[in-house]
Structure 1
Amino acid sequence: MSVTDLTRELAAIPSHEDETAAGDFLEAWLRRETPAEVTRDEAGNVFARKGAGEETLALVGHHDVVEPADSQVGPGGEYVLEERDGRLYGRGTADMKGAVAAAAIAFREADPAGELVFASFVGEEVGGVGARHAIDEGFAPDYAVVGEGSTGYSAPGVTDVAVAHKGRRGSTITARGERAHASEQEAGENAIYRASDAVDVVRDLEPPAVEVAGETLGGSVVVTEIEGGTAMNVVPDRCELTVDERTVPGERAALERVADLEGVAWTVDQDLPPMECGDEAFAEAVREAADGAQPGAPELVTKPHATDAGWLSQAGTDCVICGAAEPGEAHTDAESVSIDVLERCADLYRRTAESWPR
């Protein structure tokens, strides 16, 4: 079975609400097509292992997707796949069942230099549920190639190797006051005014930035929502702000300062960690594999989006990101992936597995 055929079959399986059927398919394919030890954990993650050595390399992806558009679903509930102009169109083709298929093909074909693991997680789109469960249960490869998109970063059509990405911290600032009639505002304490003081603190923060692979990876912090008040003639006793923060490896913006204001509390709702590869030799080995698999000249780059590589990196795995998806394809109504690039990724994953660990 080719990477195109495997992508087509896997991507047709609905997995935006329940990943079970996609996991069943992957598990059955790996058992049928490889002699590997294949397992499934309680979360629904699919693993396969082969080879031996003191160090482990994992090819990592996820088989959940975001909700498809109506045009991407067939009459029987299956996802619609179309092939035209050398691309496969459909939900999950780019993010990231195409790369999962490429990793599975590479896993089947490779004669690995050490222990090789195939891992496809559930729940990446909802905060890394599967990756976090696997890590908690002891999943700890020494190295990982995470197949999220890295094509088209240095030049159109070139599959690069991302050695760092931003994280995302989402939080809520809650300002509390004392309700009063608006005609007697001095009798109360205006929560919106307190929230405004918190906004001033956020606006004055200097987000950190780091230099990685010759690029500046800069963080950001911005107030994105505000809700408060009950009526035109009532001094509000509560106001809530939502903050979107893009984090970078290392320091964070000092957002906790808002909690020093009177009547203001700060809570973290989501914290997806950033990633930076700590092993230059591993990153260069993957870049060399990518170079050998394509006519273009891949570079070491950075990526703006959080991935499961953040969780793995936080747990001690040296990660890079290398995959077929191009910027602007994931989560769109016209999501697609290049068939040539899928074949390229299968080749470069195999090359990496056969050359690393050294």
Structure 2
Amino acid sequence: MTVRALTRQLVSIPSHDDPTAAGSAIEAWLRSETDATVERTDAGVIARRDGGGRCALVGHHDVVPPADEQTDDGEYVIHERDDRLSGRGSADMKGSLAAALCAFRDADGPCTIASFRGEEQGGVGAQRAIEAGFAPEYAVVIEGSTGYSADGVTDVAVAHKGRRASTIHATGTAAHASEPEHGTNAVYRATEAVGVLQELLPPETRVLGHDLRGRLCVTGIEGGSAWNVVPDSCAITVDERTVPDERADIGRVTAIDGVTWDVEQDLPPMACDDDAFAHAVLDAATAAQSSSPALVTKPHATDAGWLAQAGTTCVVCGAAEPGEAHTDDESVSLPVLERCYRIYRNLLSRIEGWD
């Protein structure tokens, strides 16, 4: 089966509410097309050939909910035009997954491929696999890295930001707005907390010579119950993009009376800790295309963060371009998928002898 045909098959399977059917299709394909040892768990599908080797290709088969125009009577709609395949999950990331599966099938020597569920829910599949002992020495996470250094070039990302989502809660005492001195205004306390946040400098770091800067943004504020009531509660939502080993000191807001801080989600950033491995993947990417790829950084969190946190040396390399994932007209370049197939196969075929 070709990369194109497998991409079409995977993209056609709805996997936003329940990725089980997509996982079953991947498992069945691996059992029929390869002689690998295939393991199916609640984390996803993991296949190993000849013991698994040093390097794993890692993807996911769940997707975000489709737009209305991406479905027809409950089925996913697929279109092909101008060498691009459109459909929910084509870029993020069933196209690259198809390329990786075909490369795994065709590569020589020991290797591993994993496709997890729940990446779009914070990486729950990757976390479960890691807890169960999934610990490759190296991993190429096949999220998008195309078009970062130049249009159409498939680069290699050596770092990406994490995401910490949190809520600041301010409490006060309700009173009639005609006599505000009898209450304590929670919104005022919340705005004081916002002032503290505005003074914080987002952290920065360098990864293999590349700058990575965090971001901090208040994304919502809600408080009060009526025009004539001093509010006794107010909540502020905060989106923070984290970098390896550094965090903004959001906890400073708790020095304000009546203010607490709760973290709802903390997706770890990723930093490749091995320059030689990064350049080995870059060499494979260079050999697979006429353009000159580069080592780059990504703004988005991926399962590479969980793997790196657990001790796996990671990079990100895949077909998706900036701005394609999660869109109503999501698509992927078929020629770039073929390129990714060559990158993955070249790397898997020589990684065992690499040092």
Counterpart in the other structure of 2:85: 88
Contact kept? 2:157, 2:295, Cα under 8 Å: yes
CA shift, 1:283, in A, is 0.5
Tell me which moved more, 180-189 or 119-128: 180-189
2:68 to 45, 67, 70: 70
Which amino acid counterpart does residue 50 of structure 2 have in structure 1?
G
Tell me the CA shift for residue 160 of structure 1: 0.2
> What is aligned with 2:350?
355
Query: Identity percentage over the alignment?
Result: 64
Report whether the alignment pairs 1:227 with 2:222.
yes
Q: Which residue of 2 aligns with 1:108?
A: 105
TM-score, length of structure 2 as denominator length: 0.98
Does 1:99 find its partner at 2:96?
Answer: yes
Q: Quick check: 1:213–1:301 contact (8 Å CA) kept in 2?
A: no
Number of equivalenced pairs: 353
Q: Secondary structure at the match of 1:134?
A: helix
Partner secondary structure for residue 63 of structure 2: coil
RMSD, aligned CA: 1.1
Aligned match of 1:341: 336
Give the Å deviation of 1:211: 2.3
**Offset, 1:51:** 2.4
1:311-350 to structure 2, matched below 5 A, reads: 311-350=306-345
Q: How far is the alpha carbon of 1:74 from its aligned partner?
A: 2.2
Q: What amino acid is aligned across from residue 50 of structure 1 in structure 2?
A: R
SS of residue paired to 2:197: helix
Task: Tell me how far 1:86 sits from its aligned partner.
Answer: 0.6
Q: Is the counterpart of residue 6 in structure 1 residue 2 in structure 2?
A: no
Q: Partners in 2 of 1:222 and 1:74 — Cα distance?
A: 37
CA contact (8 A) 2:58 2:139 kept: yes
Structure 1 distance, partners of 2:192, 2:323, is 36
Letter in 2 for 1:84: R
Aligned: 1:168 with 2:166: no
| AA matched with 2:92 | D
Q: How many angstroms apart in 2 are the aligned matches of 1:337 and 1:213?
A: 29
Letter in 1 for 2:6: L
Summarize deviations over 1:143-190 as a string: whole Å, max 9, x none.
Answer: 000000000111111100000000110000000011111122111111
Instruction: Structure 1: give runs of 5+ residues left out of the alignment.
Output: none
Match of residue 35 from structure 2: 35
1:1-358 pair list within 5 angstroms = 1-43=1-43, 45-52=44-51, 56-75=54-73, 77-112=74-109, 115-357=110-352, 358=354
Q: Is the 8 A contact 2:59 2:141 kept in 1?
A: yes
What is the Cα deviation at residue 56 of structure 1? 2.1
- Could you list the runs of 5+ residues in structure 2 that have no partner in the other structure? none
Give the counterpart letter for 2:57 in structure 1.
Answer: L
Residues 161, 298 of structure 1: 8 Å contact kept: yes
Q: Does the CA contact (< 8 Å) of 1:224 and 1:242 recur in 2? A: yes
Structure 1 distance, partners of 2:75, 2:5, is 16
Partners of 1:187 and 1:66 in 2: CA distance? 48
Q: Report if aligned partners of 1:213, 1:302 keep a CA contact under 8 Å in 2.
A: no
Pairwise CA distance, 1:319: 0.4
Q: Secondary structure of 2:329's partner?
A: coil
